[in-house]
């Protein structure tokens, strides 16, 4: 592993953890953060949470778990090339979606509508709440007790109102300062991953076509290169050869543009990174092509009638569950009930933690009269 740059995050310049914790012996602080995330309950649940297609729609589509792994792979590659902290980049990548609802963005929008009078719902903040409070694994502290820089990287967006409630963690949103370069990398690695794997999944599902993708300069250029090199190639191999070239072009451009930005602004330490403008970036040309890809996916995939139909069902499931649990907290599992009555925030915690299939089953248990409640084995 290359020696870290002076402005990279390390255990030396880290702000540390919320609660006292013995130093790790055979691993670094951010390796420990990564390991705690991987072993968490919330991380395992990502296997059955929607990226674009609901879990039961097919075994080969991406889930929140496979998406997070792809983001981590891309982020690590970029961090290594720039002599930044790979372990931190990986930890943030693996944790960034821990608070996401079932059913992807449709579930988040529905839960946000339900929580509108109670502070709203935002999955970045829920991811932070998950690692700070909701995970129950250690005797000495709640949550996972991650380092400040890992927790900081999880929060990509934050309103001023919410930022004020986060103390030091929210200060950068109020003072318009930047997070670490490792956190900035994760934000853009996230975009590279979901744009390209959503194209792959959309093609697999038959909701978009290679012909439609020819309108995208970035995709068409690489598809043409593949056809010239391999005239007989077709099907999945043509798609994969094209997409891997697109990802490589984006990653290389990001590394080169960021390296030039670092030279221009010459940060000497981590504090300089926070005072500078965002340094991790695509070139203007690639940024425009990346944005065109996002617009294409919004129009042709995310707003495809098949996806919207499932999103409509998903929103109804989340809304029904929220209404049922807030109307009568006795329907909640005991650990989510309070003596003061049903807390909307605790209801949101319960729903956000559900997988797609669990939410569907819970909805059937509550609303389908022909569904039999299964009693715990101890009560049988």
Instruction: Give the HSE-up count for residue 312: Cα atoms under 13 Å, Cβ half-sphere.
Output: 7
**Residue 282 and residue 358 in one domain:** no
Here the tokens at position 50 are 């929607």
**Residue 102 and residue 242 in one domain:** yes
pLDDT of 270: 97
The CA distance from 205 to 207, in Å, is 6
pLDDT of 379: 40
Using alpha carbons only, how large is the chain's radius of gyration in Å?
22
**Residue 204 and residue 323 in one domain:** no
SS3 63: strand
Q: CB–CB of 112/162 below 8 Å?
A: no
**Residue 215 and residue 363 in one domain:** no
Instruction: Give the HSE-up count for residue 62: Cα atoms under 13 Å, Cβ half-sphere.
Output: 21
**Residue 55 and residue 34 in one domain:** yes
Beta bridge partners of 17: 147
With b meaning 16 or more CB within 10 Å and e meaning fewer, what string describes 12-22?
eebeebbeebe
What are residue 147's phi and psi, to 5 degrees? -65, 155
Angle (nearest 5°) at CA 220 between 218 and 222: 75
Domain residues for the domain of 288 are 29-307
Instruction: Give the HSE-up count for residue 7: Cα atoms under 13 Å, Cβ half-sphere.
Output: 23
Question: Which CATH number belongs to the domain containing residue 88 in this structure?
Answer: 1.10.3210.10
Give domain status of residue 272, yes or no: yes
Instruction: Give the HSE-up count for residue 216: Cα atoms under 13 Å, Cβ half-sphere.
Output: 30
Query: If we measure between CA atoms, which residue out of 180, 248, 172 comes closest to residue 4?
Result: 180
pLDDT of 158: 86
pLDDT of 300: 95
For 81-108, write each residue's pLDDT tens digit: 999 999 999 999 999 999 999 998 999 9
Q: How many residues are recorded in the chain?
A: 380
With b meaning 16 or more CB within 10 Å and e meaning fewer, what string describes 200-217?
bbbbbbebbeeebbeebe
**Residue 217 and residue 341 in one domain:** no
The CA distance from 245 to 251, in Å, is 10
Q: What pTM does this model have?
A: 0.93
For 276-301, write each residue's pLDDT tens digit: 999 999 999 999 999 999 999 999 99
Our count of domains for the chain comes to: 2
The secondary structure of 304-329, three-state, reads: CHHHHHHHHHHHHHHHHHHHHHHHCH
Q: Divide the 380 residues of the chain into consecutive groups of 10 and give the mean pLDDT of each group.
A: 91 95 94 98 94 67 92 98 98 97 93 95 95 95 97 92 91 95 98 95 93 96 97 94 98 98 98 97 97 96 92 95 93 78 86 95 89 54
The CA distance from 315 to 110, in Å, is 5
**Residue 160 and residue 194 in one domain:** yes
**Residue 77 and residue 146 in one domain:** yes
**Residue 259 and residue 375 in one domain:** no
pLDDT of 199: 95
pLDDT of 4: 97
The CA distance from 227 to 362, in Å, is 48
Q: At what angle do helices 284-297 and 217-229 cross, to 10 degrees?
A: 100
**Residue 312 and residue 298 in one domain:** no
pLDDT of 374: 65
Give domain status of residue 147, yes or no: yes
Q: Give the end of a domain, one of 278, 307, 336.
A: 307
**Residue 227 and residue 351 in one domain:** no
Give Cα 301 to chain centroid, integer Å: 19
């Amino acid at each position: 592993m290359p020696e870290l740059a002076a402005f990279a995050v390390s255990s030396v310049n880290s702000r540390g953890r919320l609660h006292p914790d013995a130093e790790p012996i055979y691993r670094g602080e951010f390796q420990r953060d990564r390991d705690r995330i991987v072993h968490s309950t919330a991380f395992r649940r990502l296997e059955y949470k929607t990226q674009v297609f609901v879990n039961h729609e097919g075994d080969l589509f991406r889930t929140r778990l496979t998406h997070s792994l792809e983001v981590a792979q891309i982020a690590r590659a970029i961090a290594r090339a720039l002599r930044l902290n790979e372990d931190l980049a990986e930890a943030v990548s693996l944790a960034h979606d821990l608070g996401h609802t079932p059913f992807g963005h449709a579930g988040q929008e529905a839960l946000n509508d339900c929580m509108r009078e109670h502070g709203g719902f935002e999955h970045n903040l829920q991811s932070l709440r998950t690692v700070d409070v909701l995970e129950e694994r250690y005797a000495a502290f709640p949550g996972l007790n991650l380092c400040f820089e890992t927790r900081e990287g999880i929060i990509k967006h934050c309103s001023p109102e919410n930022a004020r409630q986060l103390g030091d963690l929210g200060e950068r949103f109020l003072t318009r300062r930047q997070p670490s370069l490792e956190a900035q990398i994760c934000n853009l690695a996230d975009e590279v991953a979901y744009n390209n794997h959503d194209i792959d999944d959309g093609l697999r599902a038959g909701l978009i076509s290679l012909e439609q993708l020819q309108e995208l300069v970035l995709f068409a250029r690489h598809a043409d290169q593949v056809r010239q090199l391999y005239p007989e190639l077709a099907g999945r191999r043509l798609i994969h050869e094209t997409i891997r070239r697109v990802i490589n072009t984006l990653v290389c451009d990001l590394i080169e543009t960021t390296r030039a930005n670092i030279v221009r602004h010459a940060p000497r330490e981590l504090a300089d990174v926070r005072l500078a403008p965002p340094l991790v970036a695509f070139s203007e040309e690639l940024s425009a092509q990346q944005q065109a890809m996002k617009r294409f996916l919004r129009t042709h995939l995310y707003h495809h009638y098949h996806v919207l139909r499932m999103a409509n069902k998903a929103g109804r499931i989340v809304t029904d569950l929220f209404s049922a649990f807030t109307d009568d907290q006795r329907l909640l599992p005991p650990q989510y009930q309070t003596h003061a009555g049903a807390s909307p925030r605790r209801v949101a915690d319960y729903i956000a933690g559900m997988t797609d299939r669990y939410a569907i089953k819970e909805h059937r248990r509550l609303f389908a009269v022909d569904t039999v409640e299964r009693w715990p084995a101890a009560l049988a």
